[in-house]
Structure 1
Amino acid sequence: MNATDRTPADLLRSALSADPARPLVTFYDDATGERVELSVATFANWVAKTANLLQDEWSAEPGERVALLLPAHWQTAVWLLACSSVGVIADVGGDAAAADHVVAGPGQFDAGLACSGDRIALSLAPLGRRFPTPPAGYADYAVEVPTHGDHFQAYAPVDPEAPALIVAGAEYTGAEVVERARADAPGLDLTGPGSRLLSARPYDTWEGLSAGLYAPLSIGGSVVLCRHLDQLGEEALAKRIESERVTATAR
């Protein structure tokens, strides 16, 4: 990627400019059998729509905090990059009561109600399906996000030195996220464009976020993000590694 990239959103823009058609995030949920593959262009489109929701519908401003009460999932990755695009802080697993906005998935809806600001729910069902009825106190992401634009322009430039991410109690600026991701890449056996990392790490630590999104993005690679991988046998895992052309694993 470009040496001038200073935020995760910058990394995504560079990936889009370099090769929009290549896979970026391939997601498996081995509890449901779901597989979703998003090219750089498709992923960036989801990010743009979500960033527009943040900026236009929620009036979110740089420095505000968004609690992401979500597991490792392709839609979580979208929200992480959308937050970076707007300049709001993505607080992974954060205290909803201290957040300006909350994004919650199944099992987290009660906790998310502690947020007095905007609240949106993700079903995390295959194909991003809507809820039959949204959880009380929440808007349905699958209903809201399609109405937003396919291109995003921030109202104010995002400061790379401003707080961008909180995970496991540690806070990182956008520039630190990019620098740490690049530094992690060699240890994850990511050698450059074409590297493809299978990650089964949860998103509740820096190591999980780096392996499951930031490090592959930082070097022009891609990630095969696996949830509930423990339900897959070793033989089936070996077949997945072969079929997905995986070059490295993080489990």
Structure 2
Amino acid sequence: MNATDPTPADLLRSALAADASRPLVTYYDDATGERVELSVATLGNWVAKTANLLQDELAAERGDRLALLLPAHWQTAAWLLACAATGVVAEIDGDPATTDLVVSGPERLDEARACAGERVALSLRPLGTRFPLPPEGFTDYATAAPGQPDAFTSYDPPGPEDSALVVGGRELTGRQVVELARADAAERGLRPGDRVMSLLDYDRWEGVSAGLFAPLAAGASVVLCRNATDLDAAVRAARVASERITHFAE
């Protein structure tokens, strides 16, 4: 964490410089039994690949709008940070009919087809594997992203006052995302090394902050739990212990 970081992309760069090997996002899907753990370096690698896909393959430019139709998921975190790196404005649950691009999970493909621009589909299957049959009219993220370069350089880097994120009907600049994330981290008492267990979706700021930006700003990490609202008490207690959870967001 660097107190002078002005954008979400800078938060990630500082985290990589401080300790790239530490865990950043751990993801559980309690409907499938999936568990994935990503270090800062691993998530950073996915962010770079996704940003290169956006910039070079999809021809996205700073200021373009992207409807993000994804749940709280480790791949969603990669897309949010890739958008921040390229200057593409991520509109969570945005209207595909009014955006330049759309990124969708399998349950919202029909909705995503309203986008006249580039469309990307994610299977959200365990380990991020590809669709058995690629959805017609979409780029399969699991096919297109892995071959992208592991380092990213923006052709037109976004500034802190550029729009970066739309969530819950609120549009935020890069600086506002960072400032709000720092404020949330302070309110939660997050410190480097802390672990936040989040059951919140990414459809409002509280979920995006607790599930990514506040831990990133604080040098902490997050354990995202999808489909966990009815998690058995014993299973939850075991997870809290095994993941060394220090804070909760639910």
TM-score using structure 1 length = 0.98
Partners of 1:89 and 1:157 in 2: CA distance:
13
Q: How many Å apart are 1:132 and its aligned residue?
A: 1.1
Matched, 1:40 2:24: no
On the 8 A contact 1:188/1:211 being kept in 2, the answer is: no
Bigger shift: residues 107-116 or 181-190: 181-190
Q: How many Å apart are 1:230 and its aligned residue?
A: 1.8
1:36-78 Cα offsets, whole Å, 9 max, x none, are 0000000000000000000001111110001100001000000
The equivalent of 1:196 in structure 2 is: 195
Partners of 2:233 and 2:189 in 1: CA distance:
21
Structure 1 runs of 4+ with >6 Å offset: none
Partners of 1:106 and 1:93 in 2: CA distance:
14
Letter in 2 for 1:47: V
1:186-209 Cα offsets, whole Å, 9 max, x none, are 33231x211110000010000000
1:1-42 Cα offsets, whole Å, 9 max, x none, are 112211111000000000010000000000000000000000
The equivalent of 1:250 in structure 2 is: 249
What SS does the aligned partner of 2:229 have? helix
Letter in 2 for 1:232: L
What SS does the aligned partner of 1:211 have? helix
Letter in 2 for 1:164: A
Partners of 1:18 and 1:60 in 2: CA distance:
30
What SS does the aligned partner of 1:156 have? coil
What SS does the aligned partner of 1:210 have? helix
Letter in 2 for 1:227: R
RMSD between aligned alpha carbons? 0.7
The equivalent of 1:19 in structure 2 is: 19
The equivalent of 2:218 in structure 1 is: 219
1:221-240 Cα offsets, whole Å, 9 max, x none, are 10001101124211111110
On the 8 A contact 2:62/2:157 being kept in 1, the answer is: no
Partners of 1:31 and 1:66 in 2: CA distance:
28
On the 8 A contact 2:85/2:157 being kept in 1, the answer is: no
Partners of 1:186 and 1:85 in 2: CA distance:
25
What SS does the aligned partner of 2:238 have? helix
On the 8 A contact 1:30/1:231 being kept in 2, the answer is: no
What SS does the aligned partner of 1:197 have? strand
The equivalent of 2:229 in structure 1 is: 230
How many residue pairs end up in the alignment?
A: 250
Q: How many Å apart are 1:84 and its aligned residue?
A: 0.1
On the 8 A contact 1:7/1:160 being kept in 2, the answer is: yes
What SS does the aligned partner of 1:150 have? coil
The equivalent of 1:143 in structure 2 is: 143
TM-score using structure 2 length = 0.99
Q: How many Å apart are 1:127 and its aligned residue?
A: 0.9
On the 8 A contact 2:24/2:39 being kept in 1, the answer is: yes
Q: Which runs of 5+ in 1 are unaligned?
A: none
Partners of 1:231 and 1:88 in 2: CA distance:
36
Partners of 1:144 and 1:37 in 2: CA distance:
22
Partners of 1:57 and 1:106 in 2: CA distance:
21
The equivalent of 2:109 in structure 1 is: 109
Partners of 1:64 and 1:41 in 2: CA distance:
27
Partners of 1:184 and 1:60 in 2: CA distance:
31
Q: Which runs of 5+ in 2 are unaligned?
A: none
Q: How many Å apart are 1:136 and its aligned residue?
A: 1.6
Matched, 1:29 2:33: no
The equivalent of 1:84 in structure 2 is: 84
Letter in 1 for 2:203: D
Letter in 2 for 1:178: V
Partners of 1:64 and 1:197 in 2: CA distance:
32
Q: How many Å apart are 1:159 and its aligned residue?
A: 1.1
The equivalent of 1:241 in structure 2 is: 240
